[in-house]
Structure 1
Amino acid sequence: MRLRVEFTTEPFDLDEPPAHALAVREVVQSADLDKVDVGPFGNTAEGGADEVLSAVDMLLRRALDAGATRVSLQVNVVEGEA
């Protein structure tokens, strides 16, 4: 099964990325995922179920440890792909 996770962390800072945003960026970019898109207002990562779920666990832990007050995420099964 393939999964796609979309997530954001708060609070936002338009002047420079906060520590929690940098922490989760590092998590998804270093994870064994096939597709990663990091943007200023949202991030997307895609890969096998085990890899995505492991990355979600780590990104939640790192974001909260680095000062995030809110993490919003959505996980979807990627249709048509095994």
Structure 2
Amino acid sequence: MRLRVELTTEPFDLDEAPEHAVVVREVVGTAGLDAVHVGPFGNTAEGGADAVPAAVGALLRRTLAAGATRVSLQIDVVGEDGR
């Protein structure tokens, strides 16, 4: 199964990336996910049924520890692995 995660952390800071936003980039970049898009108002990435939940766990622990006061996420099934 192939999954897509969409994730937003708050509070927003348009002047510079807050630490929790930097953590999102680090976790997604090292989690073995693909189709990654990191933006100022949301982030998306895709991966397998094992990789996405593992990354989400790391994202939640690390972004909250880095000062996020809210983490919003959505996970969608987007197909089968290898397609």
Whole-Å Cα distance in 2 between the matches of residues 35 and 27 of structure 1? 14
Q: Which residue of 2 aligns with 1:41?
A: 41
Shift in Å at residue 24 of structure 1? 1.2
RMSD in angstroms over aligned alpha carbons? 0.8
- Normalised to the residue count of structure 1, the TM-score between the two structures is 0.94
- Normalised to the residue count of structure 2, the TM-score between the two structures is 0.93
Q: Which residue of 1 aligns with 2:50?
A: 50
Query: What percent of counterpart residues are identical?
Result: 74
Letter aligned with residue 51 of structure 1: A
Runs of 4+, deviation exceeding 6 Å: none
**Unmatched 5+ residue regions in structure 2?**
none
Q: For structure 1, which segment, 49-58 or 32-41, has the greater mean C-alpha deviation from structure 2 after superposition?
A: 32-41
